[in-house]
Amino acid sequence: MMGELFAWGSIPAQLPLLWKGMVATLQITFIAIVVGIVWGTLLAMMRLSGVKLLKVFADAYVNIFRSIPLLMVLLWFFLIVPQVLRQLLDVPPTWDIRMVSALVAFSLFEAAYYSEIIRAGIQSVSRGQISAAFALGMSYWQAMGLVILPQAFRNMVPLLLTQGIILFQDTSLVYAIALADFFGMAYQIGQRDGSLPAMIVFTAVVYFVICYSVSVLVKRLQTRLVK
């Protein structure tokens, strides 16, 4: 009975399809990390700047995205992004709108969380550093880009990587928009072949191995940075 419930023997034959789903998962993860850090850095700098309009905008952006569930944001962009792309860019039907919607949603959502990490990292740098930069005639943006951010990012690397692990786990939510990521592909295969329990356990093990391995590397990196 247990052997029928967990049809482990069916998994090896499905590895090519599962790898295809993992590629989609990694694509969403890496693009969202890059865009999220870049946009999050700009948001953090806006929040710390003396320009009231920029500060108000950045504060509102971060507070809104951090107060809304990711699944709701994902569904919201899934409904809006296709309409905007079709009307403004006349995108061809060959584009996978679901992937584009997921990339936009995750990137903008994660930027709010990366912004808070980066803002804390900037504030961890001695204020004497920015005062010295101003004394050399640098503008606020020059001081941030040339003096503060390089030091801040060194302190932030473990937290940024940890947020990346969380993002990797959260990509499984694209199942809600029928995008075949790793979990979505495994679920579809399990339903088709009657091996759903085995597929769900298998995906859980894969997520655990990847996330645990990266978290161990993050801890080692953090130890080295502290030294």
Count, in order, helices (H) and strands (E) of the chain.
10, 0
Residue 146: predicted pLDDT: 80
For residues 184-188, give the mean pLDDT.
90
Percent of the chain's residues with pLDDT above 90? 38
- Sketch the domain layout of the chain as residue ranges: 2-226
For residues 84-104, give the mean pLDDT.
72
- Whether the per-residue pLDDT at 221 is higher than 70: the answer is yes
Task: For residue 87, name the pLDDT band (cuts at 50, 70, 90).
Answer: low
Distance separating alpha carbons of residues 127 and 216, to the nearest angstrom: 32
Structural contact between residues 130 and 147, judged by C-beta atoms closer than 8 angstroms: yes
Lowest mean pLDDT among 53-57, 68-72, 163-167, 223-227: 223-227
For residues 41-65, give the mean pLDDT.
91
SS3 100: helix
Distance separating alpha carbons of residues 16 and 18, to the nearest angstrom: 5
pTM of this prediction? 0.85
H helix or E strand, kind and range, residue 73: helix 70-88
- Whether the per-residue pLDDT at 178 is higher than 80: the answer is yes
Residue 194: predicted pLDDT: 77
CATH class of the structural domain 2-226: mainly alpha
pLDDT digits (tens, 9 = 90+) for 23-39: 999 999 999 999 999 99
145 or 74, which is more confident: 74
Give the angle subtended at the CA of 182 by the CAs of 176 and 187, to the nearest 5°: 60
Structural contact between residues 118 and 148, judged by C-beta atoms closer than 8 angstroms: no
